[in-house]
Amino acid sequence: MTSSINVPTLQNASDHDLTGVVFGFTLGFGFFVICHAVKRTRKISAFTIMTWLTILVTSVSAWMVFFNLENIVHRPLAYYVVLSILWAIQSQCVLQIIVSRIVLIWSNPDHIRRLRWGVFTWVALINLSSIPARIQISAAYTKFETFWEPSEKTLCLLTDAFLNVIFIISVRKTLISNGLTKYNELVKFNVFVIGLSIALDLGIVSSMLGFNTLAIIDGKD
């Protein structure tokens, strides 16, 4: 076991510039998202709670990473534990939001239950797998993190895309095929959003291969 935990900081000008640009974009776009969410929130539901929880943990994570990269964080173990918890909550909420859209269309309770718990278990396993490397329990785990960090995000990306494809197929099979052609526009919009989301996520994962991985967390948030 290592005697101390090292927290990555801004190693060069590229890290600093990348973090500043992404963090600034996060603040601006985040403000727009919050204003839109306030207007759309009419009643409390599981969907609403997960949406606001995602916004909250994303904001806290972004500020934590920014403070860390500016050398303000001085308790690395607590930092990694809190950041891992926030990422676990965020990834669960984002994917369960997509699941909530799917189950509005599905009618089989057994299929709904399997989907909800299957996604929950799968994402939990992905999140748990990164903890040993994050708290640097050994040099081997720390080295493994370099490979696993982008792999973990790629698995979440693929899960996100898979669930969105299920949603589109369900809309076409259950609604559009039964004459509700007005949902064609919904399908087209979701295809566009999925494509844009995947492109952005791929860019972030690719950036992880060349930059300080924690500098990218602002972007994935």
In a domain, 1, yes or no: no
Distance CA 7, CA 19 (A): 16
Same domain, 158 and 179: yes
Same domain, 148 and 201: yes
Same domain, 85 and 67: no
Same domain, 97 and 70: no
Of 42, 75, 108, which residue sits at a domain end?
75
Answer yes or no: are the C-beta atoms of 7 and 212 closer than 8 Å.
Answer: no
Same domain, 185 and 135: yes
Full residue range of the structural domain in which residue 188 is found = 77-220
Answer yes or no: are the C-beta atoms of 220 and 204 closer than 8 Å.
Answer: yes
pLDDT confidence of residue 84:
82
In a domain, 67, yes or no: yes
Same domain, 58 and 127: no
Same domain, 70 and 81: no
Same domain, 50 and 85: no
pLDDT tens for each residue of the chain, 221 residues long: 444 444 455 455 566 666 677 777 777 777 777 777 677 777 788 888 888 888 888 888 888 877 777 777 666 777 778 888 888 898 899 899 999 989 988 888 899 999 999 999 999 998 887 776 666 566 666 666 667 777 788 888 889 889 988 988 888 888 877 777 777 887 888 888 888 878 877 776 776 665 555 544 444 44
Same domain, 81 and 71: no
pLDDT confidence of residue 136:
59
Same domain, 27 and 85: no
CB atoms inside a 10 Å sphere around CB 58? 23
In a domain, 116, yes or no: yes
CB atoms inside a 10 Å sphere around CB 143? 11
pLDDT confidence of residue 6:
47
Of 58, 75, 92, which residue sits at a domain end?
75
pLDDT confidence of residue 99:
93
Of 55, 75, 95, which residue sits at a domain end?
75
pLDDT confidence of residue 119:
94
pLDDT confidence of residue 121:
95
In a domain, 6, yes or no: no
Q: How many domains does the chain have?
A: 2
pLDDT confidence of residue 116:
94
